[in-house]
Amino acid sequence: MEKNYIVLLILLFFSLSCSRMSDTFWISEANYDYQKGNYHLSTYKYLKVLEKNENEIVQYNLGNVYYLLGEKGSAIEEWDKISQGVDGELKFRIEFNRGVLYFDQASYSLAFDSFKNALILKPSSIEAKRNLELTILKIDTLKNTGEGVSSSSSNRNSDSRRHSNLLNYVKRQEIRQWGYSQEKERSQDIQNDW
């Protein structure tokens, strides 16, 4: 009787581990197809994994595939499903990708908010800083030319000052970060000379 329980436990263990291995296999295959540009196939494989259980990284990847397929609404939907429950790098990537998507759709105020949120999460991201600056320049250009903007001149000037202040703040933070590390490197170089 004990042998039957042991055999049953072993079979249960292998069936559970095979399920996890199956998910890992599908995820690996989907990632490979994604890298090769086979987006429809990678979508199918990501969805296959998500049928069994939720996986935040798989949902993030699925959102990226939807974006590349031009299904922007579906991409936002996938990112929204997981954005509330995650922190750190994944949250940063979601915010950054949202900013790119909104910028591509010419929704510059939403892109601004997304890039700003990405920078709050990861202040050292040069790409997020660059994209925030491009978004601000685009917003200011559109406001100065009057395209699609019905706000008054004083509102435009106020927004421009606010954007300039934000860019100056980011610049000061970079100088503080890089200035400190350059001073440290210089002092190490002097010590190495002796």
Q: What superfamily does domain 19-86 belong to in CATH? A: Tetratricopeptide repeat domain (1.25.40.10)
Reply yes or no on whether the pLDDT at 30 is more than 50.
yes
Of the candidates 123, 117, 56, the one whose C-alpha atom is nearest the C-alpha of residue 85 is: 56
Which is more confident, 165 or 186?
Answer: 165
For the chain, the first-to-last Cα distance in angstroms comes to 78
Residue 103, both tokens? 């910028």
Say if residues 14 and 6 touch (Cβ distance below 8 Å): no
Residues of the chain with pLDDT > 90: what percent?
A: 28
- Residue 177 tokens, joined: 């970060």
pLDDT at 101: 95
**pLDDT band for position 67 (50/70/90)?**
very high
How many whole angstroms separate alpha carbon 150 and alpha carbon 171?
Answer: 30
Domain boundaries of the chain, sorted by first residue: 19-86, 109-194
Q: Tens digits of per-residue pLDDT, 121-175?
A: 999 899 999 999 999 999 988 888 876 544 444 555 566 566 666 666 666 766 7
Q: 190 or 78: whose pLDDT is higher? A: 78
| % the chain with pLDDT above 70 | 65
Tally of residues, the chain:
194
Which strand (E) or helix (H) includes residue 163? helix 153-193
Residue whose C-alpha is closest to residue 78's, from 44, 47, 123, 124: 47
